[in-house]
Every structure is written in structure tokens, then in C-alpha cells.
Amino acid sequence: MFNLDQQQINAVISSFQIPVKPEILTEMESLMEEEYPDLNDISNLIAKDVGLSAAILKVINSPFYGMNRRISEIKQAAMMLGLTTIKALVTALLLKKSFSGKACISLERFWDDAIDTANAMQFIGNRVKNEIPVDMLFTIGLFHDCGIPMLAMKYDDYKDLLINANQAHENSIAYEEKAYQTNHATLGYFVASSWHLPKDICQIIMRHHDASFIGSPTCGKGELAFCVLKAAENLTENIKRHGNSPDWSTFGDNVLSILGLSEEDYRDLMDDYSELYHEQ
């Protein structure tokens, strides 16, 4: 396991403001923990937040969910998708809402990329191994890079750091560590932990640039979800910016092998996803 030492923990707590877990999410979790969760109560709670409800319905009615008819109410969505999936959507979309303020990067572009990655994860998850828990994929896709806006809101030179990493076609972890003695994966882990996300999701967020995460001969659901994330990042990068993601040269072969995809299968997947993406 990849762990944080106390010095790192103290540095993060003292230097960054971790977004507070919204009360509506705590209330929703409490309702879902009842012996017999009431669909009406949970739907009504979500529906009270008009912006959140609209965002959920927009996601559900996108081509990536493949609904054969338009969903117009939260209760209808919960009945069709199940409470676990609705909770994952609520959690992910509340995270997006929790970040506000001045940043040296475009937060709108950042969240567009995060949502595209989350959608790509669900698309891939529905196409590959059955062991992958599809309901957790959207949450991972939206949360995994959430440390980036935290850095962008704290450091005025962070955009330049990202440009330098991009020009070198490398992920930004090493650059962040050198400049700030922390990185976006560590910060994302703190957000996920403080929002009480499942431990396996927190580990994926903290280690999503760690090549050793999928080095074991046996893969559990965490490793499979990790592979879907890396495949989705690369899918999104290809379709939006016509190139591979910085991590793909490190992870690509192992990811495709673990997911049971050949290079040709992955190209076909990319073509199919591109069609859906441009339908939006």
C-alpha cells in the first residue's frame, strides 16, 4: 500500500483548504443506510437542489448512458439506474460544485476534461470485464485529478508548471513535488478521504500515476478500475487533442492486457467512443 507519512499529512492540512463534504451528501448517505431506504425520500432530497438535479439529468441523458427514452425526474432516474449509481453521480457532481474561486487555469476546461474522462470510463467499463463495478467509475473519473484545481487556486505559477510538463509529455507529479513538496494525487486522496469515499477509490486516486499499482499477477476490482481510468484518459486525450496521454507509454501495454483488449480492439473502442462523443 502507498501511504502518507505524518509530515505530508500535516503539510496538507496546514497549507490547503480541503473542500467540505456537503450536508446533502451526508443526509443522502444517512437515508441510504436505513434498513429499507425510501426511494421517494432520497429523490426528494436531491430534487431540492435544482442545479444538482439538472446536472444529474444531463449526465444520465447523455449518449454514454444509452437510455432508450429521455429521463425527466430524479425518481425515475433512481428507479432505472439504482440508488448506488445515483449516489455516485451526486457525489461526483457535488465535488465539481465545491470548487470555486480564482485559479491560474480554466476550471471550466478542467471539469470538462474530468467529466469526459468519467464518461469514457463508463463507456469502457460497459465494454470490458464484468468484474469492474461500473457504478464507481464515474466517481473515479471526476475525482482522480481534483488536486489540480487545489494547486491552481493556491499557486499562481502552476499553469506554467503544467505547460512545462505537457511540453515534455510527462505527467506533472515530479514537477509538483519539486516546486511545492506535494502533488495533485496526494491532494486528491485527502479530498476523497474527507468525503468518505470507499478506500479502494481513495487508493486509486492517490496512486493513479504509480506504475507499480498494477504490477501484481492477480488483479482485483481496484486494479481493473485503475486500468479503465488509464484507458479512458488516453481515449479522451486522443479524441480531444489527437495524441496519447502522458502516462500511456508507461501503462498502455499492461492496461490493455489486463482489460483483455488487443490494440485493434482498443482502436475499435476509440472509434465507437468518438462517435458517441460527437453526438453530445
**What end-to-end distance do the CA atoms of the chain give, in Å?**
39
State mean pLDDT over 226-244: 95
State mean pLDDT over 147-174: 95
Q: Is residue 1 predicted with pLDDT exceeding 60?
A: no
CB-count exposure of residue 210 (10 Å: 0-12, 13-18, 19+): middle
Q: Is residue 109 predicted with pLDDT exceeding 80?
A: yes
The verdict on domain 99-277 having CATH code 1.10.3210.10 is yes
Query: What confidence score (pLDDT) does residue 66 get?
Result: 73
Query: What confidence score (pLDDT) does residue 7 get?
Result: 64
Query: What confidence score (pLDDT) does residue 251 get?
Result: 95
CA-to-CA dists, residue 29 to 63, 80, 148, 172, 212, angstroms: 28, 19, 27, 34, 33
Cell of 172: 506533472
State mean pLDDT over 121-127: 89
Distance CA 27, CA 169 (A): 43
> pLDDT over 90 for what percent of the chain?
58
Query: What confidence score (pLDDT) does residue 264 get?
Result: 96
Q: Position of cell 471526476?
A: 142
Q: Is residue 41 predicted with pLDDT exceeding 60?
A: yes
State mean pLDDT over 19-24: 89
pLDDT in tens, 129-146: 767 777 788 899 999 999
Length of the chain: 280
Residue 243 Cα to chain centre, angstroms: 20
Of 145, 131, 96, nearest in space to 222 by CA? 131
- Alpha-helical regions (H) of the chain: 6-15, 23-32, 39-47, 50-60, 74-81, 83-98, 107-125, 137-143, 147-154, 158-167, 173-180, 184-194, 199-206, 221-241, 248-259, 263-277
State mean pLDDT over 75-90: 88
Q: Is residue 250 predicted with pLDDT exceeding 90?
A: yes
Query: What confidence score (pLDDT) does residue 14 get?
Result: 65
Distance CA 170, CA 111 (A): 20
pTM, whole model, 2 decimals? 0.89
State mean pLDDT over 13-29: 84
Domain boundaries, the chain: 19-82, 99-277
Average pLDDT, the chain: 88
Distance CA 105, CA 149 (A): 8
Residue 30 Cα to chain centre, angstroms: 23
